[in-house]
Amino acid sequence: MNLMHILRDRKGATMAEYAVIAAVLILVAIVAFTSLGTTIVAKIGDLVAGM
């Protein structure tokens, strides 16, 4: 392999792009589940208080 072939190879860049997309999706999922968990805990607290 020569230098020009290595510079034209996009496999590494594509893999890095997929890694960034996966990291963003994981971050969104964590935020969503954390918010959902907080809401569920609050609803259960309201149910217990109403008993």
* DSSP structure string for 1-51: --HHHHHH--HHHHHHHHHHHHHHHHHHHHHHHHHHHHHHHHHHHHHHHT-
pLDDT band at 17 (very low <50, low <70, confident <90, very high): confident
Which amino acid, 51? Answer: M
pLDDT band at 15 (very low <50, low <70, confident <90, very high): confident
pLDDT band at 14 (very low <50, low <70, confident <90, very high): confident
